Amino acid sequence: MNKIKVGVVGTGFIGPAHIEALRRLPNVEVAALCEVTAELAKEKADALGIARSYTFDELLKQDDIQAVHICTPNFLHYSQSKAALLAGKHVICEKPLAKDLAEAEELVELAAKTGLVNAVHFNLRYYPLARQMKSMREKGELGEIYSFIGSYLQDWLFYNTDYNWRLEPDKSGDSRAIADIGSHLMDILEYITGLKTVAVLADFNTVHKTRKKPLKAVETYSGKMLQPEDYADVPITTEDHANVLLRFDNGNKGVITVSQVSAGRKNRMSLEISGSKKTFSWCSESPNEMWIGNRDKANEVLMRDPSLVNEDVRSTITFPGGHNEGFPDTSKQMFKEVYAAIAAGKQPENPTFPTFADGYRELLICERILESNKKEAWVTI
């Protein structure tokens, strides 16, 4: 088997997550790693067992590298994705695709012009029961959608001493909680329901208006505590918490809440979709079960099991029922579909995976949410 050789750019939290998932695909080889300096790239590559290490410009010159994963801070996504496409590489980019709509639109157009495979890492679509909800809705089992209630709650920025590059607008953009985790929520909402969000009314809250930035390096999610003299006070302008009312193109309504300051909620996305026939409820911290609500008979719980889900969902499941699958498996299942396209050599006409166009769509919604919060008014999309 001729394996597809891949280069991964960035080694924070998500870069190694991509690497681990890619290594579980039989037709893919993580051949190279990229970092900001050759020394750091070599150090990280050695630690992750990757033979070759480069700076970004050097990576793009490697003719045998067919695909590049962009796992760097947000402000680099546009320039690195563009350079990789121009170098003839297939691109899998972390979200957000870019820092603004103009950049995202340029990337969508460039990707289409090149014909190269392009994907944005909205991996949460690949929880099998997320696809099951989509499949059941498409088969008419949910009925007309009356409402969507969603939340995405975390606590990794709970303390004012919690700090990360995502708090700095020049690296992350003008929105934080909405752009970071709210983008996943808005993407999966439209993916499962088939609805389009047409208007938003947003209300943001910055709980910690000043945070203490460590003067020493601290890894994301590490929970390490430093001494008082090891911090500098930094004003914060992006949201810790946000509530957003939604209007959909079928005339009905929804609401989402996102928070990065909810103690005890480590990474909890919760969805409740009510239709004219049933209600679907699902939570990412219990991803292998889905609650199905009924009016006139007993409610049901569907366990993730390839023998029980719809036929078009089975490709997202590797293990039998009772053998739980979770967050790391979502990236593997997404990359399985992406690399089938890369093996074929071009972007499919109707991709099953999230593309640069989906990345543009979520950036558009997030920008309108940000605009709504500033105007304190409804904004159409």
195: left (phi over 0), alpha (psi -120 to 50) or beta: beta
Q: Active-site residue 277, yes or no?
A: no
Cα(134)–Cα(193) distance, integer angstroms: 6
Cα angle 182, 184, 188 (rounded to 5 degrees) comes to 120
Residue 322 CA from chain centroid, whole number: 26
DSSP state of 371: H
Cα(155)–Cα(117) distance, integer angstroms: 35
| Active-site residue, selected from the candidate residues 95, 134, 212, 332 | 95
Which two structure tokens, joined as six digits, stand for 142? 């949910």
245: left (phi over 0), alpha (psi -120 to 50) or beta: beta
* For helices 101-114 and 356-375, angle between their N-to-C axes, nearest 10 degrees: 170
Cα(211)–Cα(208) distance, integer angstroms: 6
Which two structure tokens, joined as six digits, stand for 32? 């190279």
Any bridge partners for residue 362, and if so which?
A: none
Q: Report, as residue numbers or ranges, the catalytic residues.
A: 95
